[in-house]
Amino acid sequence: MRDHDAPLLAVDGIVTRFGTQTVHRGVGFTAGRGELIALIGGSGTGKSVLLREIVGLQRPTAGTVRLFGTEVWAASAAELDRVRRRFGMMFQDGALFSSLTVAQNVAVPLREHTTLPADAVDALVALRLAQAGLPADAAHKAPSALSGGMRKRAAIARAIALEPELLFLDEPTSGLDPITARGFDRLVRNLVDDLGLTVLLVTHDLDTLLGVVDRLIVLADGVVAADGPVAQVIRTDDAWIRDYFSVRRMVREGPDDGS
């Protein structure tokens, strides 16, 4: 039986060093069910590195990561495989296989981690594509035939193929035009609200932060500098946070011409 009150993710005391450079000096936070959490920080704060450490792709220098109660870096291969069936990951560029169609891409985790018959896989692929907001005719196209926004949706469809409880997104709206980006934001919000997913995303997109995110975690100087509801974090008495939001508001709204 799963404890629905326990955090899905618990990061504790993560230290990351590359030679003489220390990126993380003791990062820690938890993620509960049904949250849409954004992770932000300046260049070099190790946001994407932290995601890779959380999902078991890169070992931290010290500290622990627990996913669904399992310590990732102490788990056996079989334990880690079970954990990986319960989360999905979308990398910055989508990381779709160029030699496969969109449907074949979405089917990869289903074929790797289940013994479902072909017709059941096909039905699930169609469902995931629909949930990601893709038209049915996208299924048989190559990723290169899709727009940037549609490729991101195809990557989401693959990430949710196994109906995960937790979804990691690395810069999901990067490279998208504003209209497509806001559509992607709504998709992610709907996945949280309708499917009950927990989402942890890395982003620099102010509209995403202010429009759909429940909670904001700020990395600075190797630690978590702020963690809480977006409105609360914006009011934090921290120079980097003030500059971050003031500069991005200026870019979004344009300079005040005094008129």
What does the pLDDT look like over 194-211, one tens digit per residue? 888 999 999 989 999 999
Which part of the chain has CATH 3.40.50.300? 1-86+164-253
Average pLDDT over residues 54-79: 95
- Ranges 60-74, 94-108, 171-185, most confident: 60-74
Residue 8 has pLDDT above 50, yes or no: yes
- Could you count the other beta carbons within 10 Å of the beta carbon of residue 197? 24
Average pLDDT over residues 86-98: 84
Domain 1-86+164-253 -> CATH class: alpha beta
**Location of structure tokens 């079970």:** 82
- Residue spans of beta strands (DSSP E) within 81-120: 87-90
Average pLDDT over residues 131-139: 91
What SS3 class is residue 90?
strand
What tens digit of pLDDT does each residue of 12-41 get?
999 999 999 999 999 999 999 999 999 999
Please tell me the least confidently modeled range out of 36-50, 130-144, 241-255. 241-255
Average pLDDT over residues 97-123: 93
Write down the mean pLDDT value for the chain: 90
d(CA 159, CA 167): 7
Please tell me the least confidently modeled range out of 20-29, 62-71, 111-120. 111-120
What's residue 175's pLDDT?
86
What's residue 91's pLDDT?
82
Q: What are phi and psi of 115, to 5 degrees?
A: -115, 30
Average pLDDT over residues 135-159: 92
Residue 1 has pLDDT above 50, yes or no: no
Residue whose C-alpha is closest to residue 37's, from 178, 158, 212, 176: 212
What's residue 94's pLDDT?
64
d(CA 11, CA 63): 8
The pTM of this model reads 0.88
What's residue 130's pLDDT?
93
Residue 256 has pLDDT above 60, yes or no: no
Residue 253 has pLDDT above 50, yes or no: yes
The answer to whether residues 24 and 54 touch, using CB atoms and an 8 Å cutoff, is no
- Residue spans of beta strands (DSSP E) within 8-158: 9-18, 21-31, 36-41, 62-67, 70-71, 87-90
d(CA 111, CA 106): 10
What tens digit of pLDDT does each residue of 217-252 get?
999 999 999 999 999 999 998 888 988 888 655 555
Average pLDDT over residues 180-192: 92
Rounded to a whole number, what is the distance in angstroms from the first to the last CA of the chain? 62
What's residue 259's pLDDT?
45
What's residue 3's pLDDT?
56
Amino acid at position 75, single letter: A
The answer to whether residues 64 and 13 touch, using CB atoms and an 8 Å cutoff, is yes
Average pLDDT over residues 255-259: 51
